[in-house]
Structure 1
Amino acid sequence: MIIGNRRITGLTARVIAELVEEIGPLWQERHQARLAARPRKRAVGAGAKHRLVFIDWLLATLVHLRHGVTHDVLACWFGVVRSTITWAVGEVRPLLAERGCTVGPDVRLRSLADVVDHLGASGTTSIVDSTEIRARRPAAGRKDRDKFISGKNKQNAVKSMVVTGGEGRVLWCSPARPASCADITHAGQLGLVKLLADGPATEILADAGYRGLDAQTGGRVVTPPHRKFKKDVPDWYEELHERQRKAPSSRRIRVEHGIAYLKNWRVLARHLGRREHMSDIVQAVAGLLPHQQTADLTSSRQR
């Protein structure tokens, strides 16, 4: 029932089968490596047996990411204890995050360097923006507690930089950072300036939060123009500035569509779990999103 109904996982049965074929052997290999890394105290085959096979581990993780279902509810659904679901999600989620975003039959983007190389080779325009995800505030008295307060929304959150193609397809999402980090600072920490300076020529559209990158990258990052007049603005300049501001905005709006697809996965609407898991969650959803968008596009054509 779970595999056959795409509304539950967001993915088709064919994609889930491909994920099992791809991730299953990797999970088994890492599982055996962990067992071999410590001294054995029991005979081979002794101890508790897994009540769920790997495909159940994968399905539980997909449902958790898609709908934000708690581990308690998933435990009741699969007929196991809560710790089993927590164990399953904790092992499968990093494997999904490592897959990267599929943009072609043999092309996967796993890092920002891969994205820049892909954009340079294809000669396409990309769009960059940041998205914030509400998260639990650190307990009182903890170090760096205020770093998670967003200066924009005045809420406790983490942020991730999202790179999409010109049509809004998600190409990559960065690991999560505390929301107090400025957009341009985050881009610098990810090495975007150096990658653009040393890499192929490409055009990246960005909003006002990335002003300054245009000068640092030789114009490869396009941002809205500064307002030269703040008082006694001439009528001719007001009209000119409005045209200059709206021209890139009409192209840049596509990144908001890509972010909307990300936020449709309910685990990214508001995260109530551990903040240190947010990087894996964001990148796991970004890696699954191309499969969902392709399935949505195919189904709409068949109507």
Structure 2
Amino acid sequence: MSVVEKSDSTSIEPLLNPENFRYTLKPINPTYESLWKLYKKQQDSYWKAEEISFKDDYYDFIKLKPEEQHFIKMVLAFFSSSDGIVNFNLRDRFLREIQVPEAQTAYGFQLFIEGIHSEVYSDMLINIIKDSDERNTLFNAIKEIEPVKKMADWAIKWIHSEESFAQRLIAFAIVEGVFFSGAFAAIFWLKKVHKETKLFMEGLIKSNRFIARDEGLHVGFACAMYKFIVNRVDKNTVYNMFKEAVDIAYEFSRDAIAVDMIGMNLGMMHEYIKYVADRLLVMLGYEKLYFTVNPFDFMQTIGLDSKDNFFENRPDAYQSAYTGENIDWTFEISEDF
């Protein structure tokens, strides 16, 4: 039997209520049809690690300045572990707790997709880092590199937390929405700096675009799940979670990936992280905390009420045909990328 939160029957979340469990997936429960539609959007965006070619990335990498190489190493080190942390939470907590099959199915697919992300980041590290000792250090970044460890520790504490499912749901929306956003933006910034090289680190850039979009879908799904939460987390608690996360993400940008060393304005990165945090807060049904604007014209995020289709704005769309309505959270990458 799946794990259910310790609470009296009047406070059990519908998503966690054993009465909502069933072994059959269809017919879809109309109450949770929105979750099912978001699952199908994830499914239509399926791609494989083998679709990413890293054949020229190493040669581009060795031509970079040392600080640019350091930046790429840290980003890949963080991402290669972070997807595993997300998967651990899905496997050991969320999928054991959630009773609604529509949500279980979506999280099962996310588990699968996060595995692809981890595979791709690991392949990239293996491809560009030839020294085995250095590579092992990077693969163990959540233990070996303090700024990466700090971010990982924040995520891991929520896996083992005794707090409510609602609060932990927000925590992992923050991990995928706020923690990842700065690294995604920094990779696209590096591409912008090297715009004269049309196919600069093509494997890294292409996979980053695919993965950023996937994570947008995952964050959107988390926000959709939160709409079904009955016992919402109080605003002050949520704000404190976001403040912690924004500070940690900023430290990661400053100390680990050292964005200022690749010519990226650190203050603007901080503003961008706050902007993304505010946007996530609104999607979760809370008021903004920071009231900042997006400082990066190359990293445009579709507005909450936008009718633009993300797929139509992609330079090399990879998804299957889909005609459903848009999700709320996606990254729109300008055509230069």
TM over 0.5: no
Higher helix share: 2
Which has more radius of gyration?
A: 1
> Which of the pair is proportionally richer in strand?
1
Shorter-chain-normalised TM-score: which range?
A: under 0.3
TM-score normalised by structure 2 residue count: 0.23
